[in-house]
Structure 1
């Protein structure tokens, strides 16, 4: 009897360890995503702050994690680092409403396997978490607009300048106040 239970968990699409840590400061979204992931077979723990996410990651490093980039009390990348310090086989997805190439590159360097822009639905999150190594994500149907490409470039230079507005403005040959206005706006579609 025990052998059949072990075989059943080994053949589960998620593997024998279904632990999932969700870190997002949008409470209603977090609860909806947690319920949706539980129905897909995950054992979910939720955190609404960097501090709570760090505590849970240190106490019980998960096999899967979905971490929001910007939280009220800091940067979600800190949670990814804490997970990676304790477990190197975690599938980490970065989820954010402030999607840009520079932060995606930083997230991947820290060990994230994918980067999804909000609003992402549970199916997209599940697909990203369970994607096999080497399996490619689907190509988006709509390419980026020229405004979005410009915004992405500004964000990349801003990250390269370690988020220093004055240095970024110099690098882009742009007035500092103009750059500050651009950085304060949401990403164009």
Structure 2
């Protein structure tokens, strides 16, 4: 597969269209409000299919796309957006990061790959960073225990706080999960 053209340098965002694609509706709406305060005109899609239709009708200048969507893969959404608008700048968000998907995301034209939970400042910085400009390393990177705890919490919320279903998805004993959930978040 041919590599997509590189994204253009960051430009002024006033009035630029931003497509946010995340199957967590509350997160998508919060991020949309935060990005509107920074000058974007936002659209929110909760599925790969909706995002694809939006990208076909009116390709965005910028996109923030969750890696795992209920009906597809965020990488496919980025690829579709970049086909319609090669200079679009996309950022992938994921709670399931690994090196292979990060490399694939960049090859498909994403300008950055951020781990959830990412705040609006991190997303804005990634979207507007100049090509070739390197991000600052985190001041306080999360410990491995904290990353694990965040992942468990996310799966727990995806399962509507159902301990048995969460334990099944995490391949973990229910009592072990209950003990983890009862503790405070590690630093």
Deviations 1:113-140 (A, max 9, x none): 0000000000110111110111110113
* Residue of structure 1 aligned with 2:130, choices 125, 132, 140: 132
Indicate the residue corresponding to 1:71 in structure 2.
Answer: 69
**Secondary structure of 1:67 counterpart:** strand
**Secondary structure of 1:45 counterpart:** strand
CA distance in 2, matches of 1:38, 1:144: 28
**Secondary structure of 1:22 counterpart:** strand
Indicate the residue corresponding to 1:13 in structure 2.
Answer: 12
Structure 2 gaps of 5+ residues are: 1-10, 146-169, 173-186
Deviations 1:36-61 (A, max 9, x none): 00111000011000000111011111
What does 1:1-189 align with in structure 2 at a 5 Å threshold?
A: 13-14=12-13, 18-142=16-140
Using the size of structure 1 for normalisation, the TM-score is 0.68
**Secondary structure of 1:141 counterpart:** coil
Of structures 1 and 2, the one scoring higher in RCO (CA 8 A, sep 6+) is: 2
Using the size of structure 2 for normalisation, the TM-score is 0.68
Question: How far is 1:99 from its partner?
Answer: 1.3
Return the index of the structure with the highest Cα Rg: 1
**Secondary structure of 2:113 counterpart:** strand
CA distance in 1, matches of 2:60, 2:51: 11
Question: How far is 1:144 from its partner?
Answer: 7.9
CA distance in 1, matches of 2:130, 2:46: 28
Give the alignment's Cα RMSD to 1 decimal: 2.4
Structure 1 gaps of 5+ residues are: 1-11, 148-179, 183-188
Deviations 1:90-129 (A, max 9, x none): 1100011111111110100100000000000001101111
